[in-house]
Amino acid sequence: MEPIRISRAVSGTTTRRGLPGARMAAALLSACLVGLFAPMHAAAEGYPEQVIRLVIGVGPGGHDTSTRILAEGLTRELGVPVIVDSRPGADGIIGVREVTSARPDGYTLLFALGSQIAINPALFASLPYDPQRDLVPVSLVARQPLLIAVHPSLPVASVRELVEYTRAHPGTVNYSAVTGTFMLAAESFKHRTGADMQHIPYNGGAPALNALVAGTVQVSVISGTTAIPQAKAGKIRALAVTGSSRLSQLPDVPTFSEAGVAEDVPVWSAMFAPAGTPGHVVDRFRAALVRVLETPSVRERFVANFETIVLSTPEELAATVVRDSARMRALVKAVGLPPR
């Protein structure tokens, strides 16, 4: 068989096969394009095909525990290993930066805390990323309670008594808190109530809690995931919890609202991907995430970790980030915290 010869595509020119040259050129070009993009389409249809990393910006503890619960369920749903990559330090900045600089291919995702997304931009004069520009929202995952708690030796049994005591003993009461959500929540509490407490910073929730249990500090604003067991054991005294209702684990502890103090800071966790991640990849991952979080056994494990699952669409999460970021900028300014 003679080879097909393609002549220059000019009006009236034909090949030896009798097809118009322009039509033949278009047909072959179309075939080439199909061949070029078919592997990309196949890869998209086949996502995921390799290990997926869930990056977190914290060390062992409450958030790390819930991440490992998710990784286990996602491994089953997606059919590839999903591993936890812990990058603690710098108030979560290291972990977020790891994801914003990753390839946007769906194989590196960020399981972030609200403080890392909405509070850090308000606290730091400069960040190596912009959460709203450099991340794609996937879904909210859960909300966690915060507690304000005291050492049992402090003679107070309510938020009102704590405020009165600190005013009567100025400069003598210290509180432990990790920079970010907890420190800002404590400073907001001071701003709204006039409580006189000095901040002693700690690099993690566990050291901050240990300082309270040991009596090194008298007060702490801390995550319920780490503090509730100590409160139930009587090693610390919880005075108030965040949320719209009391915790079943601490039914005698009022909410901040019941104690007459407004809640300010976002206490949520959410999943994000690097900006530029294809929409179908985000949709595929989110669908698997939803199935995992709707599994009764997973819900039970989140409850055991003192977290409430709250799913959202990507658009709802994006709106939450915008709203909370604006609120945190205003709050940081109101309480007079200088940029770091």
Which CATH number fits the domain that encloses residue 91? 3.40.190.150
Report DSSP letters for 121-140, one per residue: HHH-S--SS-HHHHEEEEEE
Per-residue pLDDT at 61: 66
pLDDT exceeds 80 at position 1: no
Q: Which residues neighbour 138 within 8 Å (Cβ) at sequence distance 6 or greater?
A: 109, 270, 271, 272, 273, 282, 285, 286, 289, 314, 317
Q: Which residues span the domain enclosing 83?
A: 52-144+267-335
Position 248 in a domain: no
164 and 199 part of one domain: yes
pLDDT digits (tens, 9 = 90+) for 110-148: 999 999 999 999 999 999 999 999 999 999 999 999 999
225 and 284 part of one domain: no
Question: Whole-angstrom Cα distance, residue 152 to residue 80?
Answer: 48
122 and 151 part of one domain: no
Per-residue pLDDT at 72: 98
Averaged pLDDT for residues 254-269: 90
Q: Which residue has the tokens 């491994």?
A: 75
pLDDT exceeds 50 at position 66: yes
Per-residue pLDDT at 9: 34
Q: Between the CA of residue 223 and those of 62, 72, 181, what are the distances in Å?
A: 8, 23, 9
150 and 74 part of one domain: no
Averaged pLDDT for residues 26-39: 43
Pick from 142-151, 203-212, 228-237: least confident:
203-212
Position 249 in a domain: no
CB distance 4 to 28 below 8 Å: no
DSSP 14: B
Ramachandran bin of 45, using left for φ above 0, alpha for ψ from -120 to 50, beta for the remaining angles:
alpha
pLDDT exceeds 70 at position 338: yes
pLDDT exceeds 60 at position 6: no
Position 118 in a domain: yes
CATH number for the domain that contains residue 178? 3.40.190.10
CB distance 179 to 254 below 8 Å: no
Position 3 in a domain: no
CB distance 63 to 224 below 8 Å: no
152 and 134 part of one domain: no
- Percent of the chain whose pLDDT exceeds 90: 72
176 and 197 part of one domain: yes
Pick from 39-48, 60-69, 174-183, 215-224: least confident:
39-48
At 207 the three-state DSSP class reads: helix
Per-residue pLDDT at 10: 33
Q: Which of 137, 130, 76 is nearest to 283 (CA)?
A: 137
Q: Which residues neighbour 86 within 8 Å (Cβ) at sequence distance 6 or greater?
A: 55, 56, 58, 59, 60, 64, 95
Helix 62-78 and helix 296-304, axial crossing angle in degrees, nearest 10: 170
Position 40 in a domain: no
Per-residue pLDDT at 197: 97
Averaged pLDDT for residues 282-288: 98
236 and 306 part of one domain: no
Q: Which of 113, 112, 107, 39 is nearest to 74 (CA)?
A: 107
pLDDT exceeds 70 at position 328: yes
181 pLDDT band (50/70/90 cuts)?
A: confident
What are the tokens at 186?
A: 């404590």
Q: What is the value of pTM for the model shown?
A: 0.82
Look at the alpha carbons of 47, 128, 113, 118 in this order and tell me if their dihedral is positive or negative: negative
What are the tokens at 23?
A: 């039509």
Q: Report the run of H or E that residue 54 belongs to, with start and end.
A: strand 52-56
Position 256 in a domain: no
Helix 314-335 and helix 181-193, axial crossing angle in degrees, nearest 10: 50
pLDDT exceeds 70 at position 12: no
Residue scoring higher pLDDT (45 or 169): 169
Number of domains in the chain: 2
Averaged pLDDT for residues 302-327: 95
pLDDT exceeds 80 at position 298: yes
Per-residue pLDDT at 255: 95
CB distance 259 to 174 below 8 Å: no
Q: Which residue has the tokens 């958030």?
A: 63
Per-residue pLDDT at 5: 32
| Cα of 226 vs its chain's centroid, Å | 17
pLDDT exceeds 50 at position 19: no
157 and 186 part of one domain: yes
pLDDT exceeds 80 at position 289: yes
Altogether, the residues listed in the chain come to a count of: 340
Question: Whole-angstrom Cα distance, residue 99 to residue 110?
Answer: 6
Pick from 22-26, 172-176, 197-201: least confident:
22-26
Residue scoring higher pLDDT (29 or 331): 331
Cis ω for the linkage preceding 60 (within 30 of 0): no
237 and 279 part of one domain: no
Position 220 in a domain: yes
